[in-house]
């Protein structure tokens, strides 16, 4: 069956870097792009962007240009989200979700930012 399994919770300090993984199984990884979605505590869902898993080309939503980077390890069917120079407002749960209809979601990765 199709699964997206994300890496575990992270506790980071402001200014640090975090890299979250999303490992796909049950389908051909390069056939479907991967979205990233942010959910701040008690808030709704916000699309961050997506990565074309065939070409490796990332596309970022306007609010996520600059400190955010999507990447792939295609041989491992894994997508990554890296956030540099962490800020308090980055504290959230981050989800990967398979394009285009977001039919499949990872379980989420909680990133806590605290000095």
Partner 1 sequence: DIKMTQSPSSMYASLGERVTITCKASQDINSYLSWFQQKPGKSPKTLIYRANRLVDGVPSRFSGSGSGQDYSLTISSLEYEDMGIYYCLQYDEFPPTFGGGTKLEIK
Could you list the residues that contact partner 1 (CB under 8 A)? 35, 44-47, 49, 59, 61, 95, 97, 100-108
Residue 17 vs 103, nearer CB to partner 1? 103
Residue 35 vs 78, nearer CB to partner 1? 35
End-to-end CA separation in angstroms for the chain: 40
Q: Find the shortest distance in angstroms from Cβ 101 to partner 1.
A: 4
d(CA 13, CA 30): 34
Residue 17 vs 37, nearer CB to partner 1? 37
d(CA 104, CA 96): 8
Q: Find the shortest distance in angstroms from Cβ 59 to partner 1.
A: 8
Q: Find the shortest distance in angstroms from Cβ 3 to partner 1.
A: 12
d(CA 1, CA 19): 26
Task: Count the neighbouring beta carbons within 10 Å of the beta carbon of residue 4.
Answer: 22
């Amino acid at each position: 069956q199709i699964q997206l399994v994300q890496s575990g919770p992270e506790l980071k300090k402001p200014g640090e870097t975090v890299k979250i993984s999303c490992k796909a199984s049950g389908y051909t990884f390069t056939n479907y792009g991967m979205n990233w979605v942010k959910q701040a505590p008690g808030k709704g869902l916000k699309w961050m962007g997506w990565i074309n898993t065939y070409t490796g080309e990332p596309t970022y939503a306007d609010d996520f240009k600059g400190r955010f980077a999507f990447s792939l390890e295609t041989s491992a069917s894994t997508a990554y989200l890296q956030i540099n120079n962490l800020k308090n407002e980055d504290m959230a749960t981050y989800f990967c979700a398979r394009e285009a209809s977001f039919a499949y979601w990872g379980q989420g990765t909680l990133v806590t930012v605290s000095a």
